[in-house]
Amino acid sequence: MFGKVLSVVLGYLGISAFAKDENGKSVILSAQEEKLEDKYGEKFLEVFKKDLEDFEKGGSSAETAVTEEVKAQMKADREKDAADLKAARERITALEAEKKTFEETIARLEKTETPDNGEEVKGEREMKTRFKADMSLAHNKYVAARFKGAAYSGDTTVDTEELRKEFGRYVASERIEIINGLFGKTESTQYMSTIMTDKTEVRAQQGAIDSVLQQFVPHWTPKGKSKFTPLKIKNFKCKINVEIIPSDVMEDILGYLYDENLDPKDMPVVKYILNQLIFPKLDEEREIALAVGEYKESKATKDGDDATEANEVMDGYVTLLRRFREDPKKYPITLLLDGVTLEDAKLVDQIDKAVDQVAALYKKKKMFIHADPDLVTRYGKAYRAKYPWLKNEDGEKIKVDFSKFTFAPLEGMRGTGVFFITPKENFKHLASKNPQQTKLRMATMHYSAYVYAEWWEGVGFWIAEAVFAYFPPEKGEAKASAADPGEQGL
């Protein structure tokens, strides 16, 4: 080992041997000591001088330590270091090119419509004046009379067949508004980019993320593919089957009319059924299914069999993230604060650390931290406790200091303790390609009316490397050093 160190020192000083004293011992000149100290430090110089003295105690000259074998080994080491350095530089160049390609891809995806995205259909949930309730029908006469404070002397039994016919007319007239009301944006889908398709499965196009630019050489040199992992997003067939007994809701309709302050002729019973009985519940259940749903095959084989639970109709984005976590080789997402338990006293610093772990490529983008609402509340309180003199002017939209990331509390994630960061163009929502053709109908039997609707819907992620997610550790999984977020990392 001393022979290698001596060889390096002599080479750095540009000499083949040290000066000798009257006893033949090596002498390091003051100028040489100063040069070595500047290069390697005072500690190195002290140790080297001691090793030099110890080597020459046996009467050997220091220069004899630099044997042919040492020279050969040094040469081999230099050649290896040179090769490693060259490979490292080539790797850096390749990574820079890959980064540039990825940035160009993201920029292109932001501006380009996804293939098979259908047509965007505009519409408002509020009913237009082109539909008028048929005031000759018994249920409308009943509502009109009661709304005006008069007694209705006609048949008190609601004719469900009449209701079915009016429902069909209403749906035909107000289809776009109704479809938007049934299957429009939920709290979480506003943070997603929508693909309109009736395919059962979509995947990021590999061709859209290939690299093509390269230096010219007069040879055929096909460019390798970038190392991005396109993900499959499944589309699920959903439906609603709702039974309504009109006579049971007539009194509620009257209160609705008073609240709306509209004439009954402009407020058919069918609008109440959709807007008050179906829309709100469907919005609530879709939000939960889109977040934590886990698809389970229905076992129903005949009418009357048990229906699936609302959160069993599709795989939600939190469910997908958990699957990604279990198979990192197949789904190379980035785990934030892996194994760390979030603590209120350290939460601000821990979130700062998580933001630091997001790849540099994405830090310049405005993105949302999609999170459990309870976690967002905890962060807001922790921030106020740490900086009590600062005023929160963001309200519920809390922005992380010195970043472009803002919290987005999503009700469907409540109780999970999870948060994740990804660009909007990477967070996908699948919707029926042609909503005008979505089936929505009513059938009647005896005193009941049955509302049916069917559509396709799904959620997922486009590219794995663009997903950065935190999961609370399972029992016994937390790291021993979790108390100091500055020591955690990937």
Residue 418 scores a pLDDT above 90 = yes
**pLDDT band at 488; cut points 50, 70, 90:** very low
Q: 197 exposed, middle or buried (CB, 10 Å; 0-12, 13-18, 19+)?
A: buried
* Residue 205 vs residue 478, higher pLDDT: 205
Instruction: Give the 3-state secondary structure of residue 182.
Output: helix
DSSP H/E element including 46: helix 42-56
Residue 416 scores a pLDDT above 90 = yes
Closest CA to 254 of 125, 134, 150: 150
State whether the Cα torsion 231-312-441-182 is positive or negative: negative
Q: Tell me how long the chain is.
A: 490
**pLDDT band at 266; cut points 50, 70, 90:** low
Residue 125 scores a pLDDT above 50 = no
For the question of whether the overall pTM of this predicted structure is more than 0.85, the answer is: no
pLDDT of residue 408: 93
pLDDT of residue 214: 76
Residue 322 scores a pLDDT above 60 = yes
Q: Which residue's structure tokens are 């389970």?
A: 296
* Residue 295 vs residue 66, higher pLDDT: 295
Residue 106 scores a pLDDT above 70 = no
Residue extents of the structural domains in the chain: 2-66
pLDDT of residue 477: 59
Give the tens place of pLDDT for each residue, 344-389: 999 999 999 999 999 988 888 899 999 999 999 999 999 989 888 8
- Pair 53, 45: CB distance under 8 Å: no
pLDDT of residue 481: 40
| Structure-token pair, residue 181 | 């009301």
Rounded distance between C-alpha atoms, residue 301 and residue 426, angstroms: 38
Mean pLDDT rounded to a whole number for the chain: 78
**pLDDT band at 264; cut points 50, 70, 90:** low
pLDDT of residue 112: 56
Give the mean model confidence (pLDDT) for residues 391-416: 83
* Residue 254 vs residue 370, higher pLDDT: 370
Give the mean model confidence (pLDDT) for residues 49-62: 74
- Pair 312, 296: CB distance under 8 Å: yes
CB atoms within 10 A of CB 282: 20
Residue 207 scores a pLDDT above 60 = no
Give the mean model confidence (pLDDT) for residues 320-334: 94
Q: Give first-to-last CA distance, the chain, whole Å.
A: 35
Residue type, position 20, single letter: K
Residue 155 scores a pLDDT above 60 = no
Residue 251 scores a pLDDT above 80 = no
**pLDDT band at 262; cut points 50, 70, 90:** low
